[in-house]
Structure 1
Amino acid sequence: MDADGDAVSESDAASDADGATASGDDAPVVAGFFSGCGGLDLGFERAGFDVALGSDQWEPAAQTYRRNFPDTEFVEEDVRELDAPAVRAAVERAGYDHEGIDVVIGGPPCQGFSRLNNEQIELDEMEKDRRNTLFEEFLRVVSVLEPQLVLMENVRDLINRQTSDDRYVKDLIVEEFAAQGYKCEYRVLEAEQYGVPQKRRRIFFMGTDRDVPIRFPEPTTPEGQWRTAGAALADATDDLPNMTYADTGEKTLERIRHVPPGGYYRDLPDRLKTKKYQCDCEDTDTCPHEPEIVKRYGTYLRRLDPGEPSLTVSTNVFIHPTEDRYLTPREMARLQTFPDEFVFEGTKTDVMKQIGNAVPVRLGEELANQLLEYFPEVRDAPPADPDVYEQQSLTDLA
């Protein structure tokens, strides 16, 4: 059995064996920035990369990372405060020459680009929200370490975002890669197509400063064979770490009992839906109007369908597919394919944020397996010429 409670196939066992071989003395070396709790980093470690360095400025995520990656040097610092000497010194503390980093990975936060932030309004989000320019800081660090390969993750809705001068942010990112000497391609990947029991869309930018083709991993799990939420949660037990149950009031429990598998708030009987006065009357006792039902959207009181992958994991907790309760943080982490031995630090709110922000471990591993195929040949490959490299059209990829 694997850490998600599934039977390990022969191909999985072979992959594990390959990873064990690759993690020897000549394993490619990775440095991570904006690492969060380490979902992407763990995927690379499982694929056989030597994860030498992680970084994040949020203390709860840093505590989680250090606990689960005890042999990895960790920098708890705002990347914007890390100058070139500090970056090189961190790599050297990890036991490597700063020129020995083969791959840089990370997911600089760009929350202003998400669908929850005014998707229909074409504003200059880069001017509104300083977090949306952090990709420039990420690529600045890349320019210091000069790895052969770079992998950057972000929210899928970034592809729709334009600046006030009508330029697409995704194109600005590609231009910034080129400015640092890297040709770049991007692709929206669907996590359920890579063995993750969750419908999650993320955009990945892959860059290289070598004259080699950029390749993204092909889907490993066809529709009809997607891992389901029910299977991922089936054998979770109370003795697992972060298996903390919500203290749910009776009124909420009554609502939960009325939500069918795959359903949510709108499936409740009207008597259980939230009602508010929409009039301007000051005294509701003498008001002639009746309170109106409040509409709710998204994941509010959402129960998972046990026969389907979960919806996208975020900080909103789902209802268990077969039990009348909310999922625990451990169960949410299983939907993100974190192994049960991966322990999250911080308050429950901190833990849920770490889990929701992470790259699913299994998706990270599939990306890492694709990058692993470049080594060791990519180290001696001729340099790329990003000025003449044609970016693949996103229209054909999304």
Structure 2
Amino acid sequence: MPVGADGDSAAGSDGAPRTTDDGAAPVVAGFFSGCGGLDLGFERAGFDVALGSDQWEPAAETYRRNFPDVEFVEEDVRELDAPAIRESVERAGYDPGGIDVVIGGPPCQGFSRLNNEQIELDEMEKDRRNTLFEEFLRVVSVLEPQLVLMENVRDLINRQTSDDRYVKDLIVDEFAAHGYKCEYRVLEAEQYGVPQKRRRIFFMGTDRDVPIRFPEPTTPEGSWRTAGEALADATDDLPNMTYANTQEKTLERIRHVPPGGYYRDLPDRLKTKKYRCDCEDTDTCPHEPEIVKRYGTYLRRLDPEEPSLTVSTNVFIHPSEDRYLTPREMARLQTFPDEFAFEGTKTDVMKQIGNAVPVRLGEELAHQIREYFPEVRDASPADPDVYEQQSLTDLA
């Protein structure tokens, strides 16, 4: 059973599900939890984590290992009807009416900058990654929490449908349709003590007549935590400290990449070359192969004096050693504690780490939301129909 702020289990002495009261820690349920970065941030901020959920098995295994007392639902959320959602909360030892906050990050790849700038309306309906926020809000409507936090990729703020509506505004409308006024903001992780330049959009909604507040930055520029600081004391005995078996040719390239540099900084002799002609026999071909251009994080070495670039499934080069980072080191850039162990193959682990909300950023958001309690439980209902959405498009 989850443990409350007073040390008691989530169920009462008579075995009945516990309902929240003004003296108890607020209760949070997570959906699209992944490995649990956002959930861990809320746990650290003093919330009772009642429930986690994700349909991807490696992430589910990681979550269960690190949250052994939290009920985990390994299901496709689209397959969970209202009774199943309530039953999951009851299995966790909580009253379904006692969930204070619902959090989650519906899959977001359909909104990434690698896709077209405009999304056809019918294509939005076809791509499950673009409409899972509706499923997330369906779960919210079942549990009726006072507050909701949803995370997505920063590029969503620029996305428009073919009839020139912003997707972010469609999401705000969807919140309102479920009875929640909503604001959104792009947060920069490095401003909250995370050693990584990572931008994500967060939607915060409430069904109560209270102002929506996002956390103010805690770390001014010039005091940002650097990649060098985050990686300084990593040791081989840490979980997921698995080194890559790198070929000599790649190692030679790595040795030529300066701190903060990448593939572009290699001498031409070490860059990838490719024949662009139509000649079938390259031995007799009169043409010279052309250098292939590479972008982004390919052969990117971190600058030890700066925060890391955005962590994804592409592994960075260590700032001072001629090797790729280990999964543990990538997890440190996401502010996971060293005792948080990841399950699955190395590819699975890297995907879990890259998709997660940085724990420290999640914790700052949770602290801000924690300030609403217990008063928000007795606040008057909100009227989202007359609520004027604050536009933050200037952050794009």
C-alpha distance 252-17 of structure 1, shift in aligned 2 (>3 A): farther
Partner secondary structure for residue 154 of structure 1: strand
C-alpha distance 193-297 of structure 1, shift in aligned 2 (>3 A): same
Any runs of at least 4 consecutive aligned residues in structure 1 with deviations exceeding 3 A, and if so which?
1-6, 13-26, 118-125
Partner secondary structure for residue 393 of structure 2: helix
Partner secondary structure for residue 293 of structure 2: coil
C-alpha distance 3-84 of structure 1, shift in aligned 2 (>3 A): closer
C-alpha distance 5-181 of structure 1, shift in aligned 2 (>3 A): closer
The 8 Å contact of residues 124 and 164 in structure 1, kept in 2 or not, is answered as no
C-alpha distance 223-14 of structure 1, shift in aligned 2 (>3 A): farther
The 8 Å contact of residues 187 and 205 in structure 1, kept in 2 or not, is answered as yes
Relative to structure 2, which stretch is displaced further, 129-138 or 355-364?
129-138
Supply the distance in 2 between the matched residues of 1:64 and 1:79 (Cα, whole angstroms).
Answer: 19
The 8 Å contact of residues 122 and 161 in structure 1, kept in 2 or not, is answered as no
The 8 Å contact of residues 4 and 337 in structure 1, kept in 2 or not, is answered as no
The 8 Å contact of residues 4 and 334 in structure 1, kept in 2 or not, is answered as no
Supply the distance in 1 between the matched residues of 2:309 and 2:94 (Cα, whole angstroms).
Answer: 40
- Deviation track 1:25-78 (CA, whole Å, cap 9, x = no partner) reads 860000000000000000000000000000000000000000000110000000
C-alpha distance 386-81 of structure 1, shift in aligned 2 (>3 A): same
Displacement of 1:129 in angstroms is 1.8
Displacement of 1:223 in angstroms is 0.1
The 8 Å contact of residues 18 and 94 in structure 2, kept in 1 or not, is answered as no
The 8 Å contact of residues 197 and 309 in structure 2, kept in 1 or not, is answered as yes
* C-alpha RMSD of matched pairs (Å): 5.2
C-alpha distance 89-169 of structure 1, shift in aligned 2 (>3 A): same
Match of 1:71 in 2: 69
Partner secondary structure for residue 239 of structure 2: coil
List alignment gaps of at least 5 residues for structure 1: 7-12
Displacement of 1:136 in angstroms is 0.1
TM-score, scaled relative to structure 1 = 0.93
The 8 Å contact of residues 16 and 47 in structure 1, kept in 2 or not, is answered as no
TM-score, scaled relative to structure 2 = 0.93
Displacement of 1:283 in angstroms is 1.3
Partner secondary structure for residue 10 of structure 2: helix
The 8 Å contact of residues 227 and 303 in structure 2, kept in 1 or not, is answered as yes
Displacement of 1:14 in angstroms is 26
- Deviation track 1:227-261 (CA, whole Å, cap 9, x = no partner) reads 00000000000000000000000000000000000
C-alpha distance 18-381 of structure 1, shift in aligned 2 (>3 A): farther
Supply the distance in 1 between the matched residues of 2:337 and 2:266 (Cα, whole angstroms).
Answer: 34
The 8 Å contact of residues 125 and 163 in structure 1, kept in 2 or not, is answered as no
The 8 Å contact of residues 18 and 48 in structure 1, kept in 2 or not, is answered as no
C-alpha distance 197-291 of structure 1, shift in aligned 2 (>3 A): same
Displacement of 1:117 in angstroms is 2.4
- Deviation track 1:71-102 (CA, whole Å, cap 9, x = no partner) reads 10000000000000000000000001100000
Displacement of 1:21 in angstroms is 22
C-alpha distance 131-19 of structure 1, shift in aligned 2 (>3 A): farther
Partner secondary structure for residue 14 of structure 1: coil
Relative to structure 2, which stretch is displaced further, 77-86 or 17-26?
17-26
- Deviation track 1:351-378 (CA, whole Å, cap 9, x = no partner) reads 0000000000000000000000000000
Say if 2:23 is the partner of 1:23: no
C-alpha distance 162-120 of structure 1, shift in aligned 2 (>3 A): closer
Supply the distance in 2 between the matched residues of 1:278 and 1:196 (Cα, whole angstroms).
Answer: 43
C-alpha distance 18-356 of structure 1, shift in aligned 2 (>3 A): farther
C-alpha distance 3-242 of structure 1, shift in aligned 2 (>3 A): farther
Displacement of 1:17 in angstroms is 27
The 8 Å contact of residues 3 and 339 in structure 1, kept in 2 or not, is answered as no
Displacement of 1:124 in angstroms is 6.2
C-alpha distance 14-121 of structure 1, shift in aligned 2 (>3 A): closer
Displacement of 1:127 in angstroms is 3.6
C-alpha distance 237-379 of structure 1, shift in aligned 2 (>3 A): same
Supply the distance in 2 between the matched residues of 1:250 and 1:133 (Cα, whole angstroms).
Answer: 45
Displacement of 1:160 in angstroms is 1.0
- Deviation track 1:146-202 (CA, whole Å, cap 9, x = no partner) reads 000000000000011111222111011000000000000000000000000000000
The 8 Å contact of residues 152 and 204 in structure 1, kept in 2 or not, is answered as yes
Partner secondary structure for residue 63 of structure 1: helix
- Deviation track 1:284-328 (CA, whole Å, cap 9, x = no partner) reads 111110000000000000000000000000000000000000000
Q: Percent same amino acid at aligned positions? A: 92
Supply the distance in 1 between the matched residues of 2:116 and 2:76 (Cα, whole angstroms).
Answer: 27
Displacement of 1:397 in angstroms is 3.8
List alignment gaps of at least 5 residues for structure 2: none
Partner secondary structure for residue 19 of structure 1: coil
The 8 Å contact of residues 4 and 232 in structure 1, kept in 2 or not, is answered as no
Q: Paired residue for 1:392, among 387, 390, 393?
A: 390
Displacement of 1:329 in angstroms is 0.1
The 8 Å contact of residues 4 and 48 in structure 2, kept in 1 or not, is answered as no
C-alpha distance 211-146 of structure 1, shift in aligned 2 (>3 A): same
Total equivalences in the alignment: 392
